[in-house]
């Protein structure tokens, strides 16, 4: 029942995407199946009938009609199969993928930390290219096969009804044996999966660029080759065991078919013809062909039902994925954020990750006035990034409240609220697009856009690199699609990401460890530039290199999810507490390097 529901769910998406194409798919499938029946049952019996009755004109007309029919249908079927069906596949694929991607962006960030949800997302993405059209083909086939079977059953009931149960039992028995064989194949597949995974791992190491340098520098590939050999041998051993059993089943099926179908059904028809003279020779041909067709249709119908169930499992997965309702949503009465009043306040904020045993953030109160430059510092794991995710409303607080321009952020329109921020995360991405597009994160269309990009390049300290690129801001980054794509060092990529902050007119900038790949001098310059260029923007930055925190209006030091110290650099140094200690240790390291 669940399979039917899930298949219907997918069919409704497909129908909405292209109702005309769905109708045509069913019609073409029906046309092919009816043509097949005409050729396999009626052509030979018409010829026999003509021989028996001497009415050769009748068979000539029949064959001419068939030729005319083929002249029309063959090109139609060929055009449909080679062109139209592929286009239909693209239309369906596009609609399903749009739905999946729209939902993926809508889902809460916490979904990505839920392995069950992530599995669903991964599975929804896998096989997406063909599954939609497969579902449509499967249903079209089931429908037209059902009609084919009805025609065969009518022919058999009218001439030799006793053979009907024999055919049905034979087909059911073959289906049963084949199901056993499929199960065996599935088990064999499952047993050899760990070995395949090992082989895939070795293949990946040879294939991916990430491993290319190290593979060339040592002999690590030799033990990996041993892993591949062992895995291959084990996989072959597993499949040998299962192939043996599968071939026994295959022999059993063939025996069953020859004894059951050929002996019982064909024997009965021939007996009726010879002994009882029950029907003419043309009748024998018609009944034997109809029986043969019915037997193979019932068998294929079973296979298609199996496919229907299989599609249902896949569709079920997509249905569940698409029906997930995010918890972080727009309030119906949500207001627009006040961009001119971009002060942020956290009042007694606590946060506990789902499934975690204790709170990651505990009772945090921070005031970030509009236009201020705030640094969040602390050791790894202190809770700095979590705090940023709460401010961006990627997660909702477990306790307390966050306000933006004095309104609780839960009462602001989510998309507009997030557009008040530009962010550079630690794991920012550089895209296979031009330098300008990478900075604006959209196409560069006007002279104003160009000026904005150039100014951002200047502020982020990227002018020298941009000047060296052929094409300047139009130069393509990465070699993903372009052999001449520009190569950028880690520091240059980071500067490109920081340039996004300068190019965006959002009132708040958030930089999560934006300087980790920069050397200390570049880091200092970047922060100085940022201070100048950000003007009246509110800036929150995270760094565990404290040299950059010196310039902040206020520093918050986090430890184990609590604010343990706060103040300006001077105040905290005078206090001589944890911040001062951390600052001194880091400064000493630089001095040692210097010496
Ligand atoms: P920081 O940015 O200061 O290095 P984080 O905010 O990233 O610290 O992490 C704070 C704590 O929360 C760490 O103990 C980390 O393991 C935990 N944590 C971070 N993200 C998750 C998550 N998605 N699920 C569960 N725990 C998490």
Mutate to test the pocket of ligand 1, among 364, 383, 543, 558 (most ligand atoms within 8 A of CB): 383
Determine the pLDDT at residue 536: 82
The stretch 478-496 carries a mean pLDDT of: 78
386 CA → ligand 1 middle, Å: 6
Q: Is 576 left (phi over 0), alpha (psi -120 to 50) or beta?
A: left
Determine the pLDDT at residue 218: 67
Determine the pLDDT at residue 221: 75
210 CA → ligand 1 middle, Å: 26
Please say if the pLDDT value at position 516 is more than 70: no
Q: Please tell me the distance from the alpha carbon of residue 368 to that of residue 450, in angstroms, as a whole number.
A: 32
The stretch 203-228 carries a mean pLDDT of: 77
347 CA → ligand 1 middle, Å: 20
User: Could you tell me which residues are beta bridge partners of residue 361?
Assistant: 351
Determine the pLDDT at residue 313: 80
- Comparing CA positions, the residue from 325, 320, 324, 326 lying closest to residue 109 is 326
Please say if the pLDDT value at position 114 is more than 90: no
Residues 350, 359 contacting (CB under 8 angstroms): yes
Helix 115-125 × helix 85-106 angle, to 10°:
160
65 CA → ligand 1 middle, Å: 75
Per-residue model confidence as pLDDT tens digits over 322-364: 888 888 887 778 889 988 888 999 999 999 998 888 999 999 9
Please say if the pLDDT value at position 300 is more than 90: no
Please say if the pLDDT value at position 14 is more than 60: yes
Determine the pLDDT at residue 529: 67
CB of 378 sitting under 6 A from ligand 1 = yes
Beta strand 421-424 pairing with 508-512: parallel
Q: 């029946």: which residue's tokens?
A: 37
Q: What is the pTM of this model?
A: 0.67
Determine the pLDDT at residue 508: 93
Ligand 1 atom nearest to CA at 356: 25
The stretch 46-53 carries a mean pLDDT of: 84
The stretch 42-46 carries a mean pLDDT of: 83
Residues 407, 335 contacting (CB under 8 angstroms): yes
Ligand 1 atom nearest to CA at 110: 23
Determine the pLDDT at residue 188: 81
- Most confident by average pLDDT, 262-266, 361-365, 418-422, 582-586: 361-365
Q: Give the Cβ contact number of residue 547 at 10 Å.
A: 17
More confident residue, 520 or 180: 180
Q: Whose CA is nearest to atom 15 of ligand 1?
A: 381
423 CA → ligand 1 middle, Å: 18
The stretch 229-249 carries a mean pLDDT of: 88
Ligand 1 atom nearest to CA at 558: 3
C-alpha dist (Å) from residue 429 to 360, 425, 441, 477, 495: 27, 9, 11, 12, 12
The stretch 401-429 carries a mean pLDDT of: 88
Determine the pLDDT at residue 555: 94
Q: Whose CA is nearest to atom 11 of ligand 1?
A: 381
CB of 543 sitting under 6 A from ligand 1 = no
CB of 110 sitting under 6 A from ligand 1 = no
Ligand 1 atom nearest to CA at 389: 6
Determine the pLDDT at residue 532: 67
Per-residue model confidence as pLDDT tens digits over 138-153: 999 999 999 999 999 9
The rounded mean pLDDT for the chain is 85
- pLDDT band with cut points at 50, 70 and 90 for residue 210: low
CB of 381 sitting under 6 A from ligand 1 = yes
Per-residue model confidence as pLDDT tens digits over 539-564: 998 876 777 788 889 999 999 999 99
- Which residues have C-beta within 8 Å of that of residue 259, sequence separation ≥ 6? none
Q: Please tell me the distance from the alpha carbon of residue 107 to that of residue 118, in angstroms, as a whole number.
A: 11
Per-residue model confidence as pLDDT tens digits over 353-387: 988 889 999 999 999 999 999 999 998 889 998 99
């Amino acid at each position: 029942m669940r399979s039917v529901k899930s298949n219907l769910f997918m069919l409704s998406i497909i129908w909405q995407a292209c109702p005309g194409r769905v109708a045509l798919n069913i019609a073409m499938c029906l046309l092919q199946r009816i043509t097949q029946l005409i050729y396999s049952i009626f052509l030979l019996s018409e010829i026999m009938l003509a021989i028996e009755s001497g009415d050769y004109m009748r068979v000539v007309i029949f064959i001419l009609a068939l030729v005319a029919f083929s002249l029309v249908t063959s090109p139609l079927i060929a055009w449909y199969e080679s062109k139209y069906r592929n286009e239909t596949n693209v239309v369906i694929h596009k609609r399903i993928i749009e739905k999946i991607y729209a939902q993926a962006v809508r889902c809460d960030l916490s979904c990505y930390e839920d392995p069950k949800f992530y599995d669903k997302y991964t599975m929804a993405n896998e096989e997406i290219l063909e599954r939609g059209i497969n579902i449509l083909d499967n249903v079209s086939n089931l429908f037209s096969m059902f009609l084919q079977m009805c025609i065969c059953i009518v022919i058999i009931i009218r001439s030799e009804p006793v053979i009907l149960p024999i055919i049905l039992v034979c087909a059911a028995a073959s289906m049963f044996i084949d199901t056993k064989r499929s199960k065996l194949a599935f088990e064999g597949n499952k047993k050899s999966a760990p070995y395949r995974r090992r082989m895939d791992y070795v293949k990946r190491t040879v294939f991916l660029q990430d491993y290319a340098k190290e593979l060339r520098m040592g002999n690590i590939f030799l033990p990996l080759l041993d892993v591949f050999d062992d895995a291959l041998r084990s996989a072959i051993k597993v499949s040998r065991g299962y192939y043996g059993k599968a071939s026994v089943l295959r022999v059993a099926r063939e025996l069953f078919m020859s004894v059951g179908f050929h002996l019982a059904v064909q024997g009965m028809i021939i007996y009726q013809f010879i002994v009882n003279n029950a029907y003419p020779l043309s009748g024998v041909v018609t009944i034997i062909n109809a029986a043969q067709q019915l037997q193979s249709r019932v068998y294929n119908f079973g296979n298609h039902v199996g496919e229907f169930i299989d599609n249902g499992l896949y569709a079920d997965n997509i249905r569940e994925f698409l029906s997930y309702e995010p918890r972080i949503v727009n309030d119906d009465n949500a207001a627009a954020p006040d961009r001119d009043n971009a002060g942020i306040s956290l009042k007694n904020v606590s946060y506990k990750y789902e499934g975690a045993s204790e709170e990651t953030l505990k009772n945090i109160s921070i005031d970030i006035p509009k236009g201020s430059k705030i640094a969040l510092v602390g050791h790894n794991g202190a809770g700095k990034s979590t705090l940023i995710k709460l401010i961006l409303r990627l997660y909702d607080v477990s306790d307390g409240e966050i306000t933006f321009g004095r309104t609780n952020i839960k009462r602001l329109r989510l998309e507009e609220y997030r557009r008040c921020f530009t962010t550079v995360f630690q794991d920012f991405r550089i895209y296979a697009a031009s330098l300008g597009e990478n900075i604006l994160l959209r196409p560069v269309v006007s002279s104003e856009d160009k000026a904005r990009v150039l100014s951002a390049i200047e502020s982020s300290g990227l002018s020298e690199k941009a000047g060296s690129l052929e094409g300047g801001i139009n130069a393509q980054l990465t070699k993903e699609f372009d052999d001449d794509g520009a190569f950028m060092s880690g520091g240059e990529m980071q500067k490109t990401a920081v340039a996004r902050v300068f190019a965006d007119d959002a009132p708040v900038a958030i930089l999560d460890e934006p300087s980790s790949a920069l050397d200390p001098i570049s880091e200092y310059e970047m922060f100085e530039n940022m201070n100048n260029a950000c003007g009246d923007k509110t800036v929150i930055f995270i760094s565990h290199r404290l040299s950059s925190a010196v310039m902040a209006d206020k520093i918050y030091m986090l430890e184990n999810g609590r604010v343990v110290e706060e103040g300006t650099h001077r105040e905290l140094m005078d206090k001589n507490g944890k911040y001062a200690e951390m600052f001194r240790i880091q400064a000493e390291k630089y001095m040692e390097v210097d010496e």
